[in-house]
Structure 1
Amino acid sequence: MSIFAEKPLSYALKENARVISALVVRSAVTRFSKSRFGFIWILAEPAAYVGIFLAIHTFMKAHIPFGDNAALFILAGVFGFRMTRGISRKTERAIVSNQPMLTYPLIRPLDTIIATFLLEATIWLMICGLFMGGLAYSMDRSIVVYPVDFMECLLAILFFAFSFATFNAAVGALIPRYDTFLSMISMPLMLLSGVFYMPTQFSPEVQAILWWNPFLHCVEWFRTSTYIDYAPLLNKGYLLGLATGLLAIGLTLERVFRPRIISA
């Protein structure tokens, strides 16, 4: 009797689930054991973005780009971008951060990516819920006007973040300087994502350039669920199609070059 007959697919899936669960716990311990203020800092970062924008807005007596509440506008932009990039940024470092663990036969590079993604997605969804709930309480009204669109947006953000991270993790494990490149483009990506402005206020020529930034579509999708009459520069098909392509390439690279990635 072969080993495959003795250990059916269900057994392999259970074993893989145990490996990923153990990696999630390890990632959480590594993330928060070094500092008691680790989770507080994660909460403080979005609050800092909102606070700085509101301070500048008040000082310059500027008009809100859209809507009647500056905090809501910037919070939707911050989470549309920061949740996507925050999840993907940590996840794309999963292989490098867990390199010693790859010497164990049961652990594959993809397992480390999935485990890190699950942890980061859980953290950011909790933070999003806290901030959105807190703002709704302070404004004494519901700020998610389209709940179904909001859930679709969160799923799309998670899908793109995982796909983007899988691609970057595989390429980064093969090209050492690639992580430096990703760090360099993080700030330009945020500035081009419509976090602090409404993209449709620009000329068609500028919009045509901004349109290619997938993070902009994450921001615009997030805002469409919090405003009744928001006019977004949004193409859901482009975001989901790009995410699917990046995921397919990332998974292929991870599988084809797995021995090289493990021995890197």
Structure 2
Amino acid sequence: MTPVALPEREIANGKPSHGHLRAILALILREMGSRYGRNPGGYVWAVVEPLGMIFILSLGFSLLLRSPPLGTSFLLFYATGYLPYSLFQKNTRMIMMTLAQVRSLLYYPAVGWFDAVAARFILSILTEALVAYLLLFGILMVVDTKTVLDFGPILLSFILAALLGTGMGMLNCVFVGFVPVWQTIWGIITRPMLLASGVLYIYEDLPRAAQEILWYFPLLHLTAISREGYYPIYEADFASVWYVTAVGMVLLVMGLMLMRRYHLDILARR
């Protein structure tokens, strides 16, 4: 099939400008309308989905265990691990499909691939932050957890999850552009990720052999850092902020380089 000719222009030069800001804002509003405005309930489903997952995990494990690995509330324990994990997953998925879903808009001179990625990143972060606030506020209000919150580790875990998700999302966006079946392959690869990310347990309860292998999985560090903000007695000595940051920065730089180099080729293939 003959590739579609695209305008001879640079999609984005990476320099902030009023034009870029207007384009990003317009794309955010468009994404909000298409993603949440057309479905009954809209943003309600963004809250119901993770709440349902956390409730199912809590109910299932409460039947098997006397108490969670930390604290007394199954709901809070699984929420503290699942929310940063969910931010990584959803941010990755949204950015991964950027070129495939906004291709027609990139013909406009005022809209570039960087604008589209930035808009999806901002919308994903704002949505997940709102969902996390509502869920955690609701759990802390309903359940007597006697938790003393430390917002430093909590915010840090979300920032690192956003960094990892953005870098992985842009890499996957390039992979999907050249190998469309990668979207399905990625879905299969990430299915066991919930088990490896420490949502269901804490690192310290694992056998030594499993600890040595899973230490290199960045999401395991994220859930541990997050839980330090909810459980004052818990100290995740194994968790390395520098390791997660380094992995995230490598993914982000590689994603930016590949997107800048190949976005026109990907758009011409479709």
Normalised by the length of structure 1, the TM-score is 0.89
Give the 5 Å matches for 1:189-200: 189-200=193-204
Q: Residue in 2 aligned with 1:178?
A: 182
Alignment-derived partner of residue 148 in structure 1: 152
- Taking structure 1 as reference, are residues 116 and 12 closer, same or farther at Cα in structure 2, changes over 3 Å only? closer
* 1:143/1:127 CA distance change after superposition, 3 Å: farther
1:4-153 aligned within 5 A:
13-139=17-143, 143=147, 145-153=149-157
For residues 194-209 of structure 1, the aligned pairs below 5 Å read 194-209=198-213
The RMSD of aligned alpha carbons is: 2.0
**Could you say what secondary structure the match of 1:75 adopts?**
helix
| Deviation of 1:81 (Å) | 0.9
Secondary structure, aligned partner of 1:64: coil
* Cα distance between partner residues in 1 of 2:263 and 2:91: 23
Report Cα offsets for 1:136-181 as digits up to 9, x if no partner. 2224566453222222222222222222222222332232222112
Aligned to 2:191: 187
Whether 1:252 aligns to 2:240 is no
User: Unaligned 5+ residue runs, structure 1?
Assistant: 1-8
Counterpart CA distance in 1 for 2:93 and 2:113 is: 16
Alignment partner, residue 267 of structure 2: 262
What amino acid is aligned across from residue 67 of structure 2 in structure 1?
H
Change in CA separation of 1:156 and 1:225 when aligned onto 2, cut-off 3 Å = same
SS in 2 for 1:60: coil
* Distance in structure 2 (CA, Å) of the matches to 1:142 and 1:136: 8
Q: Distance in 2 between matches of 1:144 and 1:23?
A: 39
Residue identity matched to 2:33: V
One-letter amino acid matched to 1:165: G
SS of 1:234 mapped into structure 2: coil
- Letter matched to residue 212 of structure 1: Y
**Conserved? CA contact 2:148–2:232, under 8 Å:** no
2:174–2:263: 8 Å Cα contact kept in structure 1? no
Q: Which has the higher helix share?
A: 1
Secondary structure, in 3 states, of the residue corresponding to 2:53? helix
Amino acid paired to 1:236: V
Distance 2:247 2:223 in 1: 16
1:3 corresponds to:
none
Letter in 1 for 2:263: R
